[in-house]
A and B are shown apart, each in its own frame.
Chain A
C-alpha cells in the first residue's frame, strides 16, 4: 500500500502540507467551538474576540437546568431508532425483491424508490404538515419517526440491495434444492450474510435522521417532540441573543456517539454514502 515515491521528496512534502492544512481547517473550528462550550457566556460575544477564555461549566449546568434536555435526548433517540426499525422492516424485503427476482417493472420500481431521495423536503413540507395535522400527530415523536423513515427508506433500500447483489447465487440455489422456502432463505442465509450492509444502512439512516431539520421544525413545537437538532435553534434567551455555549455543548453531546459509530463502520462508509454505487 505504501508506495513511497522516494525520488520526489519535495512532492511528498507538498502532499503532506496540503493534507495537514486541510486537517487543520477541519479541526480548528471544532476545537474553537469546544472552547466556546467550556467558557462563561460573558466571554463569547465580545467587542474583541477572546482566544484564551476562562474555563467554566456554566453551559453544562444550564442545559440540564434551564431546558428539558433529557426530553430532547429522549425524543431524538426514540424517533431515530423507531425510524430505522421501520426502514429495515420495509427495506429488507424490498431490497431482496429488487436484487433477486426478475419481473416486469423492476427497474422502474427501483428507480422510483431511488428518486424519492431527490425530493426536496420543502416541496412536500406543506402537504405533510397538513397530513399530520389532520391525523392529530403534530408535535409528537410518532410523526417524526414516520417522516424520518420515509426520508431514509430509499437510501436504506439501495444500500441493502447493493450488498445482496454481492452474495453468490449458488448459496441460495443449494438451499433451494434442499427445499427451503424463499422467506427462509432470506431470513436464514441472506440476512446473516449481509449483516454489515444492514448495519451500515441503519447507521447512515440514523445519522440523516439525527440531522433532520426542516420537517422537525414544522412538526415539533414543544418539548414533547423537539429533537436536539431543532432544540439547538431555540437556545436563545430573548434579549440575550443566542446562547452559544449551550449550543456548543449539545452539539458535542450529539457528535461523540455518532463519531464513534462511524469510525467503527469506516470501511463501509463510501458504499453507504453512495447508496451502493461505489464499492469501498
Chain B
C-alpha cells in the first residue's frame, strides 16, 4: 500500500507507477468488497436454511403430495386451509396459550427482578431461579406430564389441602390442559425474563432512585415512575424473544397433551408437524408453513426491527 506514494517523476518510473496505481485500484476495490466477503459465508449459510426452504414450501404448497407423486392443484391447499376449522383453532390456541404464558412470565419476572436486584444475595436467587431453564425442554415436559397427568401428584396435593374432592380430569378438560402447558412454560422460562430484567435494573442509576426515596416516594412509585419507563426498551426486546419461542412451542405439546383434548392444545407448530409427518399431507402442511412464514415476516418487520433498534444502546 505504501509504495503507491512513490513520486511519479521521470519517464523511467512510468511502469512501476502504473503498476502501483493498478495495485492501489485493486486494493481499493478489495477494500470495498472486504466487509461483504466477511459476512457472505454466514449469509449464504442462512439463506440455505431460510430462502431455500421458503421457496420449496411455496412451491410444494401448490401440489397434492402423495408419497412420490406430486399433482399440481393450484391454490386448492390454501382454499382448504382457510376453510379448515382445525387450522384456525391451532392459530387461536397458539395465541391464547402464548399470550397468557407471556403475560404471567412478564409479571412474575418483573416482580421478582424488582425485589431481587439490589439484594445482597442476588447471585444466589439468580442461580436458584435459573435451574428450570437449564433442563432440556423435553425433560420438563415429562416432569409436567407425570405431575399433572400420569402420576396425579397435583390432584393429590390439592385434595390433601382440601381444595378439591376428587381427581382432576385434566386430560379431558380444555382449560386444565392448556393451563398445564402454560404452567410448564411459566415455570421454565420466567427465569429467562428475570435474568434480563435484573441486569437492566442493575444498570440503572442508583442515585436517581435514592433521591426519589429521600423525597418520600414509595417503592411502587419509584418502580412505576422511574424504573419501568427506563426499562421499556429492554422489556420490548425480552418479550419479543420470548414471544417468538412461545409461539413455536412444540416439545411440550408433543409430549404432554398431543394436542388434545379435541385439538384444544394443538399449536400451529404441532398442526404442521401432524399434517406433514403423521398424515403425510406435505402439500397441505407446506401451505400452512407459508402462511406462518408470511405472518413471521410481517411481525419481524413491524415489531422485532423496532424492538432491537431501541434496545441497542
Chains A and B bind each other: yes
Task: Report B-chain residues with C-beta under 8 Å of the C-beta of A18.
Answer: 111-112, 115
Residue among B49, B115, B192, B203 making CB contact with A128, cutoff 8 Å: B49
Say if the beta carbon of A262 comes within 8 Å of chain B: yes
Contact A266 B139 (CB under 8 A): no
Task: Report B-chain residues with C-beta under 8 Å of the C-beta of A173.
Answer: none
How long is the Cα–Cα vector from A254 to B254 in the complex, in angstroms? 20
Given A15-B115, A271-B199, residue A96 in contact with residue B38 (CB < 8 A) = yes
Say if the beta carbon of A247 comes within 8 Å of chain B: yes
Contact B118 A97 (CB under 8 A): no
Task: Report A-chain residues with C-beta under 8 Å of the C-beta of B38.
Answer: 93-94, 96-97, 101
Residue among A15, A112, A117, A126 making CB contact with B286, cutoff 8 Å: A126
How long is the Cα–Cα vector from A254 to B136 in the complex, in angstroms? 8
Contact B273 A269 (CB under 8 A): no
Question: What does DSSP make chain B's interface, helix, strand, loop or mixed?
Answer: helix
Given A254-B139, A278-B199, residue A122 in contact with residue B127 (CB < 8 A) = no
Residue among A22, A29, A109 making CB contact with B39, cutoff 8 Å: A109
Give the residue among B39, B118, B151 with the most A Cβ atoms within 10 A.
B39
Contact B136 A229 (CB under 8 A): yes
Contact B49 A150 (CB under 8 A): yes
Contact A103 B196 (CB under 8 A): no
Contact B45 A270 (CB under 8 A): no
| Complex interface bits, B102-142 against A, C-beta within 8 A gives 1, otherwise 0 | 00000010011001101110010111111110111111001
How long is the Cα–Cα vector from A137 to B195 in the complex, in angstroms? 38
Q: Which of B7-15, B18-26, B303-311 contacts A (4 or more CB under 8 A)?
A: B303-311
Contact A121 B269 (CB under 8 A): yes
Say if the beta carbon of A62 comes within 8 Å of chain B: no
Interface residues of A in 130-169 (CB under 8 A from B): 130-131, 147, 149-150, 153-154, 157
Contact B304 A114 (CB under 8 A): yes
Contact A45 B150 (CB under 8 A): yes
Give the residue among B146, B156, B238, B296 with the most A Cβ atoms within 10 A.
B146
> Which bracket fits the contact residues of A?
35 or more
Say if the beta carbon of A23 comes within 8 Å of chain B: yes
Say if the beta carbon of B268 comes within 8 Å of chain A: yes
| Complex interface bits, A212-234 against B, C-beta within 8 A gives 1, otherwise 0 | 01100110000000001110110
Contact B129 A23 (CB under 8 A): yes
Q: Which residue on chain A has the smallest CB distance to residue B147?
A: A29
Task: Report B-chain residues with C-beta under 8 Å of the C-beta of A49.
Answer: 151-153, 156
Task: Report A-chain residues with C-beta under 8 Å of the C-beta of B272.
Answer: 122-123, 125-126
Contact B134 A128 (CB under 8 A): no
Task: Report B-chain residues with C-beta under 8 Å of the C-beta of A241.
Answer: 150
| Complex interface bits, A97-122 against B, C-beta within 8 A gives 1, otherwise 0 | 11011010010010111111111111
A-B contact pairs, 23 of them (CB 8 A): A2-B120, A3-B118, A11-B219, A18-B111, A22-B108, A26-B128, A32-B153, A93-B39, A97-B35, A101-B35, A117-B241, A119-B50, A120-B269, A124-B53, A126-B60, A150-B49, A233-B138, A244-B150, A255-B134, A255-B139, A258-B134, A263-B127, A277-B311
